[in-house]
């Protein structure tokens, strides 16, 4: 477990350093227009926000997709169990009682 924590820590440090480097290299201001809203902000901030919005949208899509697949699998399993139970009940009903 310690190795995993160490890897996560160093991975976080490397990503943070890359983010700082990216922000310093892309510090110029750019105009930003969305519908009727106009503003100026740093290119790095704009790109990071766009990335985070894409990440959130992808996570939501993935969660909804996995959830719908999970529901379909659950329904399939329940249907199979019901069919097995019905077949077992039919077998027990059809077999004569040998305890005479």
Q: Residue 71 half-sphere exposure, CB side, CA atoms within 13 Å?
A: 5
Q: What pLDDT, on the 0 to 100 scale, is given for residue 25?
A: 84
What pTM was computed for the model?
A: 0.47
Cα Rg of the chain, angstroms: 29
Report pLDDT digits (tens) over 2-35: 566 666 778 778 887 887 888 788 778 888 888 8
Report pLDDT digits (tens) over 70-97: 666 777 777 888 888 877 777 776 665 5
Region for residue 41 given its phi and psi (left: phi exceeds 0; alpha: psi -120 to 50; beta: otherwise): beta
Best CA proximity match to 49, nearest among 91, 19, 92: 19
**In 1-100, which ranges are continuous DSSP H helix?**
2-25, 43-94
């Amino acid at each position: 477990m310690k190795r995993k924590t160490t890897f996560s820590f160093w991975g976080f440090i490397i990503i943070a350093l890359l983010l700082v480097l990216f922000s310093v290299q892309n510090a110029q201001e750019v105009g930003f227009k969305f519908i009727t809203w106009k503003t100026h902000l740093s290119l790095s901030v704009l790109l990071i926000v766009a990335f985070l919005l894409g990440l959130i949208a992808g996570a939501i899509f993935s969660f909804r997709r996995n959830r719908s697949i999970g529901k379909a699998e659950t329904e399939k399993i329940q249907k199979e169990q019901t069919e097995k139970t019905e077949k077992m009940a039919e077998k027990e009903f059809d077999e004569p009682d040998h305890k005479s």
